[in-house]
Amino acid sequence: MPVLENPRHERFVQALAAGKSATDAYVLAGYSDNRHNAAALAREEHISTRLQELLAKAAERAEITAEMVLRELAKIGFANMADYMRAGPEGDPYLDFSSLTRDQAAALQEVTVEDFKDGRGEEARDVRRVKFKLSDKRAALVDIGKHLGMFIDRSEVGKPGEFEALTVEQKRERVIGIAKQLGLDRIGPTAGSA
């Protein structure tokens, strides 16, 4: 798909490709701040098609593949604290990075080493405290799950609380209207079914 004919739309999609939120991209494209309109524009087919094209080109230039990204996420998502610690003779844990693999190191977010004296005078002893933090396992697993189609993203349409104020019949009419817009012939149980 070539550059979009509407310059504002092209600026909008370029900002989205650069990692801006839809609202920020909308303002950068020259529109007034409007979260609802920004989200609606982002959902338009020509915008999403152009965005996917730009992101694919960027990934190609960086020589990044979906497989590479999934492998890195898997290193984080399936990291285990036991890979970094050992137990002493008394069962006390201690860190052992001596046999750390490159894949295990990829899951480390932070390592802090502190040297200090504990106590005073002749009773003082040298202490080394080592702390480490693994990257966010849950976030990595959610990203993997989304890629694999395990989760469904839902978004709310309208103003917060607006749907709750409707009667059951009004809600049904809204849902049927949305289903028709999406090209769904019917929703829910058919007549005569239990």
1-64 CATH choice from 1.10.10, 3.40.1360, 1.10.287, 2.60.120: 1.10.10
Q: Which of 45-49, 163-167, 181-185 has the highest mean pLDDT?
A: 45-49
pTM more than 0.75: no
Choose among 121, 127, 151: nearest CA to 139.
151
pLDDT tens for 2-40 read 889 999 999 999 999 888 999 999 999 999 999 999 999
Q: Are 126 and 115 in contact (CB under 8 A)?
A: yes
- The structural domains of the chain, with segments of one domain joined by +, span 1-64, 75-141, 156-194
The predicted-structure confidence for 162-181, as pLDDT tens digits, reads as follows 777 888 898 888 888 877 77
Check: CB of residue 104 under 8 Å from CB of residue 79.
Answer: yes
